[in-house]
Amino acid sequence: MAIPIVASDVKGNREVVEHSWNGLLVPYGDSVALAGSAQALLADPERAHDMGQHGRRLALQHFDEQRVFERVLSVYTWLLLERGLAAPATEARACPAGQALTDERWLS
């Protein structure tokens, strides 16, 4: 299923929704803008379809259950190794010493 997102322009949503690419962001608390954005997508099925496809690709790339699990395991392994504790035997990449946890090379 590929459905575009209409969401409030707040921190968590901005991390997932790129305005006009995979959905629409509206000002927080603005129910008129929220309704208007939903109506705009309903009136333009081709645009809605394209946004939905972009969103689906993004979700599969970044939020697939297995990928999320691997990223979490990688961070936990790195944290354990950094503290000199036993880490699980796994093929997951561990963040190397000195790399920030937010470094995309190790979290993606």
Please, what is the angle between helix 31-43 and helix 45-62, to 10°? 110
Distance, in Å, from the CA atom of 10 to the CA atom of 23, rounded to the nearest integer, reads 14
Q: What is the pLDDT of residues 88-105, one digit of tens each?
A: 775 545 455 445 444 454
DSSP category for residue 19: B
- For 23, list phi and psi in degrees, rounded to 5: 170, -170
Q: What is the pLDDT of residues 49-68, one digit of tens each?
A: 999 999 999 988 888 888 88
What are the domain boundaries of the chain? Answer: 5-62, 65-107
Q: What is the pLDDT of residue 91?
A: 52
**Are 26 and 6 contacting, i.e. CB atoms less than 8 angstroms apart?**
yes
Q: What is the pTM (predicted TM-score) of this model?
A: 0.63
The whole-number average pLDDT for the span 15-37 is 97
Q: What is the pLDDT of residue 49?
A: 97
Helices (H), the chain: 11-14, 31-43, 45-62, 65-82, 104-107
